[in-house]
Structure 1
Amino acid sequence: MKKIALFPGSFDPLTNGHLDTIERATNIFDEVIVAVSTNTTKKSLFNGEERIALAKEVLKDVPGTKVVRHTGGLTVDMAEELHVSAMLRGIRNMKDYEYEESIAMMNRSQNPKIETVILMASEKYRFLSSSLIKEVAMFGGDISEFVPSVVNQAIIKKYQDMSDDEHM
Structure 2
Amino acid sequence: MRTGVYPGTFDPVTLGHMDIIRRGAKLVDRLVIGVTTNPSKSPMFSLEERMAMVKREVAEVGGEIHVVAFDSLLMDFAEREGAKVIVRGLRAVADFEYEYQMAGMNQQINPRVETVFLMADVSLQPIASRLVKEIALFGGDIHKFVPARVRDEVVARVEKVGRKGS
Give the TM-score normalised by the residue count of structure 2: 0.95
Structure 2 unmatched runs, 5+: none
Percentage of identical aligned residues? 38
1:139, distance to aligned residue in structure 2 (A): 1.0
2 CA distance for matches of 1:25 and 1:34? 10
1:137, distance to aligned residue in structure 2 (A): 0.6
User: How does 1:123-134 map onto structure 2 within 5 Å?
Assistant: 123-134=122-133
Letter in 1 for 2:84: S
1 CA distance for matches of 2:68 and 2:133? 23
CA root-mean-square deviation: 1.1
Q: Is the 8 A contact 2:137 2:162 kept in 1?
A: no
1:66 and 2:66 matched: yes
User: How does 1:7-156 map onto structure 2 within 5 Å?
Assistant: 7-63=6-62, 64-70=64-70, 72-156=71-155
Q: Is the 8 A contact 2:10 2:129 kept in 1?
A: yes
1:62, distance to aligned residue in structure 2 (A): 1.5
Structure 1 unmatched runs, 5+: none
1:78, distance to aligned residue in structure 2 (A): 0.7
Q: Deviations over 1:84-130 (max 9, x none)?
A: 11011000111100100111011110110000000011100111100
2 CA distance for matches of 1:47 and 1:54? 11
My pick for the range that moved more, 5-14 or 55-64, is: 55-64
Q: Deviations over 1:35-76 (max 9, x none)?
A: 000010011100101000100111112222110001x22110
Q: Deviations over 1:5-51 (max 9, x none)?
A: 10000001100000001001111111211000001001110010100
1 CA distance for matches of 2:47 and 2:72? 16
1 CA distance for matches of 2:103 and 2:81? 18
